[in-house]
Amino acid sequence: MEDIVSVDIGGMKLQHQNLLVTLYGLYGQPSSGSFPVSAIVEMFGALGIKSQASRSTISRLKSRGVLINERTGSDSHYQLSAEILDGFRKDDQRIFAPSRSSSDESLILAIFSVPESERNRRYELRSELASMGFGMVASGVAVGPQLAFEQAKARLNARGLSGYVEFFRADYMSPEDIQDRVAQWWDLQALDQQYTDFLQLYVGRLGAWQEKLAKPVESDEQRMDLEREAFAFYVPMLTRWRHFPYRDPNLPFEYLPEGWKAPQAKNTFLALHELLAPQAELYANQLLGLRIG
């Protein structure tokens, strides 16, 4: 099995492939979603990944079918495979405008059965459901919020897994407190710790960025440096954040433990996103424009 290549950014490791998905999701437009090799190398360089490591990553991901090569004259461009990108775009509503379920909404049950001879598909199915916010009620039974249904159905269909699953709309009718059950179906403690880790990295940085961006820019060189710095901060932050809205079922607050960190983490992310996304995009578009335009 190939090693997973990662880089330490802000005290936490991020896989090169996850960073690349973020870059394509943000800056790869649907009509021209290919990047020249030189742009990938420079964007990775801004994230602290050296040129040789970047090119090794490109070669590795090409051999695995994650990156698809396109030739434009003598230039080599790469697209990210549609399966890996999986619909992530900078206007992804679940990431940038996540909704929370209400207690009067029904839950979704996913009932699945996979033959023993295809046990690897059973593992894949459970992993896919978990990655979209479903919790496990019992063997072959997963529960999730209504807001996850359409995307779960589309994802499983794209993965060739929909034939193993039937979906039902359900209401919780047990006399036992649903809050106790929710803690069994989802690993809320682990998720809350991940939110805590995110806050420790970013909650104290908002004021510093507000102050930095409020200062007048005195030269084009200073402006470019600021945009590059914003890019180097924003892309890893989004890479860490964009998995949360899928893993988190966004259950009603009354189902969740006291002191749940998700709202504070969400507010911190959205504030930094609003502040830094335009600056980061200017930097990325300049790199891409120099090579594509």
Contacts of 27 (CB under 8 A, 6+ apart): 35, 90, 281, 284, 285, 288
Which pTM value belongs to this model?
A: 0.85
Q: What is the pLDDT of residues 1-54, one digit of tens each?
A: 344 566 666 666 788 888 998 998 898 865 457 888 889 999 999 999 999 989
273 pLDDT band, cuts 50/70/90, is very high
Q: What is the CATH number of domain 6-85?
A: 1.10.10.10
Q: Where are the domains of the chain?
A: 6-85, 107-170, 187-292
The b/e string for 69-107 (b: 16+ C-beta within 10 A; e otherwise) is eeeeeeeebbbbeeebbbebbbeeebbbebebbeeeeeb
CA-CA distance, 256 to 192, in Å (whole number)?
10
Q: What is the pLDDT of residue 82?
A: 74
107-170: what CATH class?
alpha beta
Q: What is the pLDDT of residues 170-213, one digit of tens each?
A: 888 875 788 889 989 999 999 999 999 999 999 999 999 999 99
